[in-house]
A and B are shown apart, each in its own frame.
Chain A
Amino acid sequence: MGESNDGIPSPATDEPHPGPGRVGFGRPVAYGLVLGLLAMLAWGLVRAESGPRGSGRAPDFTLTGFDGRMVTLSELRGQVVVVNFWASWCPPCREEAAYLERTWRAYEDRGVVFIGVDWVDTEKEALAYIDEFDITYINGPDIGTRIAQAYRIRGVPETFFVDKAGQLRGVYIGPLYPPELDNRIEELLAEPETTTSS
């Protein structure tokens, strides 16, 4: 420095300020961190905007029902599968419960499987719910919410449709009313069975 200014000399030294962190490796680290943060925010944004899974291979899972039955999704190739997420504390779920059970009984001999996944619920209340609506298809708790996370559900009720080849063919958010469920099932049943398994 040493610029003269009004004739007052400068007493201090001209050493460069050490700065927070030696500038040498500080720069790439700082940029790296900021870019990392931005990348993470971008991922978060994409995830926030995306909804439940609606296409692609249906994520496989094994569900142990409240009554002890077990079902694995991948073993159901060749059948149409309806995966319904519900909870006993969810009022809209109650609105569709009877319709789901009716439809199940109508289609159970026609190669359609209904699976009820109980999301973050208590066993006592869940069993009471199943009892109330006299539900006969398999229902089990989603332990650790793994299935819900795989299907990226946002809430309940949400119903996923899996075709005979194990592909996800859409999701219905909210309670199902007739004839929506029948239509979707008929649509998927009408498709031919593929000989190759995907």
Chain B
Amino acid sequence: MLNDVGFLALVIGFGLSVYASAAAAWGGWKGRSTWVASARNAACLVFPVLTVSVVALVAALLRLDFRLAYVADVSSQAMSPFLRVTALWGGQQGSILFWAWLMAGFVCAAVLRPWRDNRELLPWVIAVAMLTTAFFVGLSVFITNPFERYWLLPGAQDLTRALFAPRGAMPYVPSEGDGLNPLLRHFGMIAHPPTTYLGFTGFVIPFAFAIAALIARKGQEDGWIRATRRWTLVAWMFLSVGLILGGRWAYDVLGWGGFWGWDPVENAMLMPWLTGTAFLHSVMITEKRGMLKVWGMILIILTYSLSLFGTFITRTGVIGSVHAFAKSALGPAFFVFIGLTFLGSMSLLFRRLPDLRTEHELEGLLSRETAFLLQNLLFLAITFAVFWGTVFPMISELVTGTKITVGPPYFKQVTGPFFFALLVLMGLAPLLAWRRHGLRSLARTAAPLLVASLVLTAGWAYVHRLHPAAWAGLWLVSFASVAVLAEFGKGVQARMETRRETPALAFVRLVGRNRRRYGGYLVHLGVLMIALAFVGDAYFKQETQDTLRVGEQLAIGGYRLVFEDLRAYPGTDGREIVEAQASLYRGGKFLAALAPRRDYFVVQEQPVTVPAVYATLAEDVYVLLVGWEGTGYGSTTFKVYLNPFINWAWLGGGAIVLGVLLSVFPGSRAYAEASYRLRSRRLEGAETAGEST
């Protein structure tokens, strides 16, 4: 009964979103506000309606209603209620519904904002956002419906999946489900899809605003940018967190000692993040100086298109990957939608290109504007390199018939230099003035930072012997970090001098009054911490593998691992565990008892390697159980990785979240808005000036 209600709600949701999109477009085109108002209501209704569907599916998962094929696929009696709920996004059908639901939520929130400004954009924002929502809900209704059941046709060997009974078929209700893939039962993998989807779907709103601005010929103004600043930040934050969680999952579960493998699906998520970051920065300059308007449009269209593209290759298996979902019938529908989105946005942009004129000018080549432009170029170059490397295997097969692999060595070598250049820019850009900056004055401000960072790097170099590129990497991270910290320091110092505040109070007030700026710097620090983890992974990683008998040890980088015991026992969730006991020593001192193991999930025939990790801020000692001969006293093969700086990646993630929250928190609007308004060419009318107070 509940399942039927859920399905019905899904269909209603589809109808509403189609209506909302059409009505908004009609109202916008003809200038009929009643149609737009109606569309607005319909648009916001989609969210509660879809919530009914989601609740119905979650309820079915919780009570293990195996009548639904989806429930039988992703849940099983052995799974805890928490895991059953998270199975909502564990399979194709559920995750599409989940995606559509999140998108509907964002659109509802966007539609509910008080539209005192940017009123001309409203109909088109609804039209575009609802069109996208309609597509995903439509996918859920017609192609990957989570409310399908299993049927047994007479004389058939396999089961059929369908919503309604095929002629002569009997419903098939399995007594036990397949359960969630064991690899997915990890906190990172549980939180990774929701955060990633929030990121992807969050970008629909800025995209819709951008397209609306183009359609309504308001691209010249920055109204759409200011309206979506917080959306963009929050969506970007979720996307970043999603990426980091994915990396954490890979590190904990996949057992190859790293957290980023340049796998096509990972790259598919990275590309919209790259263009999204460029977009975030680019619109700052559009707001302040009215420049890079076309860039802003291009970047948001790219970000949104790349997220569609990313989800397309993930779900259809067009490019093979370890991550891909099982094959489904989504492909052609998705393909058409992507094609229309790409071509439609592009042609719209081309048509409105004459409208998007830059307003200001520069006096010198060296200026903050140039830095922003360079930043755009670098991010796009990296995006192109990643894109090219990801699709080239397909191209190669198409043109020459040979399959090739483009893996981490390629990506590291090609994107490395660009990332390094970005680090330089990150350090230098806050020092640059608008319009023009003298080279000498830049040298003067940058010199102390350069010296400080070189000293830091030399110190590190003394501790580790380094490869030249490693020196460059460490130095750049130090340079940029020192530059960011110097910004904090300068601000605190200025306040201390002018207002005679204590350092602590100065710091709090500084950050509190300029949340946007210092939130941004905090995010930069977070990114630098992650960069440090990448540098560690690329240049300082060590590994060793050896087969030991009980009592023997292996050595790596000052640590000793002594093999003590090996045993096998059954575990929870239907798995068989083989576990090794080992002790970790450093310089004669006992550090920890480590127990790397291999779990074998009998039903799914899936082995999962669980590493034992000794984690410190400086490095991780990551121990894997690779093989064994008999339990007890047999010889056992261990693989140990030394991963320097890796925990900075997770800390960096935390810093990013804090920084974004700080930046997004309302309160400092008065100051920010007032100062921007002064610098921009148009002063809003007196009524909006009064509004900001």
Q: Do chains A and B touch in the complex (CB under 8 A)?
A: yes
Binding site for B on A (CB under 8 A): 1, 5-6, 8, 10-17, 19-20, 23, 27, 30-31, 34-35, 37-38, 40-45, 48-49, 149
Q: Is the CB of A1 within 8 A of B357?
A: yes
User: Which of A10, A38, A44 counts the most B-chain CB atoms under 10 A from its CB?
Assistant: A44
**Least Cβ–Cβ distance between B159 and chain A, in angstroms:** 17
Within 8 A of A (CB), among B645-682: 681-682
Complex: A16 Cα to B293 Cα, angstroms:
12
**Do A17 and B356 form a contact, CB below 8 Å, given A6-B685, A43-B398, A49-B331?**
yes
If A38-B339, A42-B335 touch, does A17 touch B398 (CB 8 Å cutoff)?
A: no
A149 touching B403, Cβ below 8 Å? yes
Residues A12 and B685 in contact, CB atoms below 8 Å apart: no
> Contact check: which of B294, B360, B394 meets A40 at CB < 8 Å?
B394
State how many angstroms separate the Cβ of A95 from the closest Cβ of chain B. 15
A17: which B residues are within 8 A, CB to CB?
A: 291, 293-294, 356-358
The complex places the Cα of A14 from the Cα of B338 at a distance, in Å, of: 36
Query: Could you say which residues of chain A place their CB within 8 Å of the CB of B683?
Result: 5-6, 8
From 338 to 362 in chain B, residues with beta carbon under 8 angstroms from any chain A beta carbon are 338-339, 342-343, 346, 350, 353-354, 356-361
Q: Which 4 pairs across A and B sit closest by C-beta, in order of nearness?
A: A44-B318, A17-B358, A45-B331, A48-B317
The answer to whether B353 touches A23 (Cβ under 8 A) is yes
- Point out the residues of chain B lying under 8 angstroms from A149, CB to CB: 401, 403
Find out whether the CB atom of A12 lies under 8 angstroms from the CB atom of B360.
Answer: yes
The answer to whether B332 has its CB under 8 Å from any CB of chain A is yes
- Tell me if B681 and A12 are in contact (CB < 8 A): yes
List the B side residues contacting A19 at CB < 8 Å: 294, 353
Whether B391 sits at the interface, judged by CB under 8 Å, is yes
Complex: A38 Cα to B377 Cα, angstroms = 24
24 inter-chain pairs at a CB distance below 8 angstroms, sorted by A residue, are A6-B682, A6-B685, A12-B359, A15-B358, A17-B294, A17-B356, A19-B353, A20-B294, A23-B350, A27-B350, A34-B343, A37-B342, A38-B338, A40-B395, A41-B312, A43-B394, A44-B319, A45-B332, A48-B316, A48-B327, A49-B327, A49-B331, A149-B401, A149-B403
Residues of A within 8 A of B359 (CB): 12
Q: Give the shortest distance, in Å, between B73 (CB) and chain A (any CB).
A: 21
The answer on a CB contact under 8 Å between B318 and A48 is yes
Asked if A40 contacts B398 (CB within 8 A), the reply is yes
A16–B220 Cα distance when bound, in Å, is: 12
Chain B residues near A48 (CB, 8 Å)? 316-318, 327, 331
**How many interface contacts (CB-CB < 8 Å) are there between A and B?**
77
Q: Are A45 and B398 in contact (CB under 8 A)?
A: no
| Cβ-defined contact, B316 with A45, below 8 A | yes
Contacts of B360 in A (CB 8 A): 12
* Chain A CB within 8 A of B568 CB: no
- Look across to chain A and name the residue whose beta carbon is closest to the beta carbon of B345: A34
In the complex, the chain A residue whose C-beta lies closest to that of B401 is A149
Q: Are A14 and B331 in contact (CB under 8 A)?
A: no
The answer for the CA separation of A30 and B298 in the assembled complex, in Å, is 12
B391 proximity list for chain A (CB < 8 A): 37, 40
Using Cβ atoms and an 8 Å threshold, which residues of chain A touch B317?
Answer: 48
Task: Give the chain B neighbours of A38 by CB distance below 8 A.
Answer: 335, 338-339, 342
CB nearest neighbor in B for A23: B353
Which A-chain residue is minimally distant from B339 (CB atoms)? A38
A44 to chain B, nearest CB (A): 4
CA–CA, A157 to B391, complex, Å? 29
Are B298 and A20 within 8 A (Cβ)?
yes
Is the CB of B295 closer than 8 A to any CB of chain A? yes
Separation of A180 and B120 alpha carbons in the complex (Å): 69
Minimal Cβ-Cβ distance residue in A for B343 = A34
Shortest Cβ distance from residue B406 to the other chain A in the assembled complex, whole angstroms = 15
Q: How far is the CA of A101 from the CA of B504 in the complex (A)?
A: 83
Contacts of A37 in B (CB 8 A): 342, 391
Write the chain B residue with the least CB distance to A8. B683
Complex Cα gap A8–B682 (Å): 8
Closest chain A residue to B324 by CB distance? A48
Contact B354 A16 (CB under 8 A): yes
Query: Please, which residue of chain A has its CB at the minimum distance from the CB of B358?
Result: A17
Q: How far is the CA of A15 from the CA of B401 in the complex (A)?
A: 50
A23–B359 Cα distance when bound, in Å, is 19
A11 to B361, CA, bound (A): 10
Quick one: which of B279-310 are within 8 Å of A by CB?
291, 293-295, 298
Report B-chain residues with C-beta under 8 Å of the C-beta of A23. 350, 353
Interface-centre pick from B298, B338, B357 (highest chain A CB count, 10 A): B357
Q: How far is the CA of A11 from the CA of B679 in the complex (A)?
A: 12
**Shortest Cβ distance from residue B12 to the other chain A in the assembled complex, whole angstroms:** 31
The reply to whether A34 and B394 form a contact with Cβ atoms under 8 Å apart is: no
On chain B, the residues within 8 Å of A5 by CB distance are 682-683
Residue of B nearest to A144 (CB): B402
Contact, CB under 8 Å: A16 / B318: no
A188–chain B nearest beta-carbon distance, Å: 23
Give bound CA distance, A182 to B361, whole Å: 82
A30 vs chain B, min Cβ distance (A):
6
Contacts of B358 in A (CB 8 A): 15, 17
User: Taking the nearest CB of chain A, how far is it from the CB of B47, in angstroms?
Assistant: 31
Give the contacting residue for B335; candidates A10, A35, A45; CB below 8 A. Answer: A45
Q: What chain A residues lie within 8 Å of B346 (beta carbons)?
A: 30-31, 34
Tell me the bound Cα distance from A149 to B402 in angstroms. Answer: 9
Output the least CB separation between A149 and chain B (Å).
7
Q: How far is the CA of A14 from the CA of B290 in the complex (A)?
A: 13
Docked pose: A40 CA to B387 CA in angstroms? 13
What residues on A are CB-neighbors of B357 within 8 Å? 1, 14-17
Complex-state Cα separation, A42 to B333, whole angstroms = 11
CA gap between A13 and B353 in the complex, in Å? 17
Min Cβ gap A27→B in Å is 6
Chain A residues, Cβ within 8 Å of B316: 45, 48
Write out the residue numbers on chain A whose beta carbons fall within 8 Å of the beta carbon of B343.
31, 34-35
Contact with A along B349-382 (1 / 0, CB 8 A): 0100110111111000000000000000000000
The interface residues of chain A lying within 8 Å CB-to-CB of B339 are: 38
